[in-house]
Amino acid sequence: EDQVTQSPEALRLQEGESSSLNCSYTVSGLRGLFWYRQDPGKGPEFLFTLYSAGEEKEKERLKATLTKKESFLHITAPKPEDSATYLCAVHGSGNTGKLIFGQGTTLQVKP
Amino acid sequence: GAVVSQHPSRVICKSGTSVKIECRSLDFQATTMFWYRQFPKQSLMLMATSNEGSKATYEQGVEKDKFLINHASLTLSTLTVTSAHPEDSSFYICSARDDGGTGELFFGEGSRLTVL
């Protein structure tokens, strides 16, 4: 059974304090690992898709990396506007495009 | 970028009534759309896969007679919560897969249902 576990559940950082969010996954035949950002009361906003171990993608202060068992979302010098819940999801080979989501990491960046 | 629109964004109804939520892909065609529900401080749980021109595929534990899904066209899927009860109160989110391009998934803004 495909599973996604994110840690920590919540993370508080000071502005400028870099850190990483973890997403551990178990899936039969990974077809893609997705990172989304979700603000309260809104739908998820797409950030990255990673397809194979060793792949990395960057967008502004965010960098996503992927291994065969986990993915990291690195946040460099975060700003208060980076505060949100970050969701990780996997698309396995055994389904038709549906994503299995982790519980999310709620990030709060204080000025 | 691609946009998925959900309507209404918020709805309050009385127990026993039915509520319809629309999910539209505004600038792309989507043969496949997905409906999720999200309880407070929890992640998204897939309810069903909506397929244009065929019956929806429901996840285990989701009552298909209660959550009616109609994928009427390549840009529209609807979710109807029939005979709603307070326990159906939740945040419902749809996503649509772009038939062209990279097949990327795009999410709607969500619809918050409150059943009194």
The 10s digit of each residue's pLDDT in A51-86 is 899 999 999 999 999 999 999 999 999 999 999 999
Query: Residue A20: which pLDDT band, with cuts at 50, 70 and 90?
Result: very high
Residues A9, A36, B5, B36: is their CA dihedral positive or negative? negative
Q: Which residue has the higher pLDDT, B88 or A46?
A: B88
> What pLDDT is recorded for position B10?
94
Tell me: pLDDT of A92 over 90: no
Chains A, B: CB pairs < 8 Å: 51
Altogether, the residues listed in chain A come to a count of: 111
> What pLDDT is recorded for position B112?
94
> What pLDDT is recorded for position B90?
94
For residue B89, count CB atoms less than 10 angstroms from its CB and return exposed for 0-12, middle for 13-18, buried for 19 or more.
middle
Question: By 3-state DSSP, what share of chain B in percent is helix, strand and coil, each rounded to 5?
Answer: 5, 55, 45
Q: Which residues of chain B have pLDDT under 70?
A: 1-2, 101-103
Nearest CA in chain A to B34: A98
Per the CB < 8 A criterion, the answer to whether A88 and A6 are in contact is yes
> What pLDDT is recorded for position B2?
61
Beta bridge partners of B36: B46, B93
Residues ≥6 apart with Cβ < 8 Å to B105: A34, A46, A97, A99, B34, B95, B96, B97, B98
Q: What is the mean pLDDT of chain B?
A: 91
Q: pLDDT above 90 covers what percent of chain A?
A: 74
Q: Is the Cβ pair A43, B93 closer than 8 Å?
A: yes
**Chain A hits for B45, Cβ within 8 Å:** 101
> What pLDDT is recorded for position A95?
54
What tokens appear for B9 in the block? Answer: 């964004």
DSSP string spanning B79-92? Answer: EEE-S--GGG-EEE
Q: pLDDT above 70 covers what percent of chain A?
A: 95
> What pLDDT is recorded for position A31?
84
B110 touches A: beta carbon within 8 Å: yes
> What pLDDT is recorded for position A29?
84
> What pLDDT is recorded for position B21?
97
> What pLDDT is recorded for position A96?
64
Tell me: pLDDT of A93 over 80: no
Tell me: pLDDT of A111 over 70: yes
Q: Is the Cβ pair A46, B104 closer than 8 Å?
A: yes
A92 touches B: beta carbon within 8 Å: no
Of B34, B49, B106, Cβ closest to residue A46? B106
Q: What is the mean pLDDT of chain A?
A: 92
Nearest Cα to Cα of residue A13 among A73, A69, A65, A54: A73
Q: How far apart are CA A5 and CA A15, in angstroms?
A: 26
Tell me: pLDDT of A30 over 90: no
Residue carrying the six token digits 């918020």: B10
